[in-house]
Amino acid sequence: MHPIIDHIDITVEDLYRAEKFYDKLLPLLGFDLSAKEYTEVPEHEYKIVEYHSSYMSIGFVNRRDAYKNEKLSRRKAGALHHLAFRAENREEVDSLFEKIKAIPAVIVHPPKFYPEYCSDYYAFFFKDSEGIEYEIVNFERVKDPLIKSVCAYCAADFSSDCTNSTQAG
């Protein structure tokens, strides 16, 4: 088996508000709005809007009324901390930053290098209309024989300090 994600479903507070946001965001990330679909199962209080690409699908599900007073927390057990999408290069990260900022999305951190992850790790972070955090990232991913992700420049495991003293860009 190859570790390929087929689909992700995320529960949101307001499905209508989320759909308006994702109709603007997801085409920027390669999803096809003409392939968007809706499913509803009333007996389970379940409504979903699904967006598809040739690589994966992402769905947004209404929250159940029983949970309407619960506060969103990325640090709660079982919660999504954040979801990262990979850009082809740093220029695409910068271009997407401008487009996503205009949706508007809440920018958590603008594009910059994150040497604590790896010397060429370049990313920005933002939140959607529901407060869910996302990341757009670019870096070189190299695999060692033990299938650990390592820095492409110095081959240091991400859990250790990168020995590369220069940062591209």
Domain boundaries, the chain: 1-63
Which residue from 131, 127, 156, 151 is spatially nearest to 139, judged by alpha carbons?
151
Q: At 43, is the secondary structure helix, strand, or coil?
A: helix
Q: What is the pLDDT, as a whole number, of residue 131?
A: 94
β pairing state of 122-127 and 133-138: antiparallel
User: Under a CB-based contact definition with an 8 Å cutoff, are residues 121 and 168 in contact?
Assistant: no
What letters, b where the CB count within 10 A reaches 16 and e where it falls short, cover 78-107?
eeeeeeebebeebeebbebbeebeebebee
Instruction: Classify domain 1-63 at the CATH topology level.
Output: 2,3-Dihydroxybiphenyl 1,2-Dioxygenase; domain 1 (3.10.180)
131: left (phi over 0), alpha (psi -120 to 50) or beta: left
Tens digits of pLDDT across the chain (169 residues)? 888 899 999 999 999 999 999 999 999 999 999 999 999 999 999 999 999 999 999 999 999 988 888 887 888 877 889 999 999 999 999 999 999 999 999 999 999 999 999 889 999 999 999 999 999 999 987 644 443 555 554 555 544 444 444 433 3
Q: What pTM does this model have?
A: 0.81
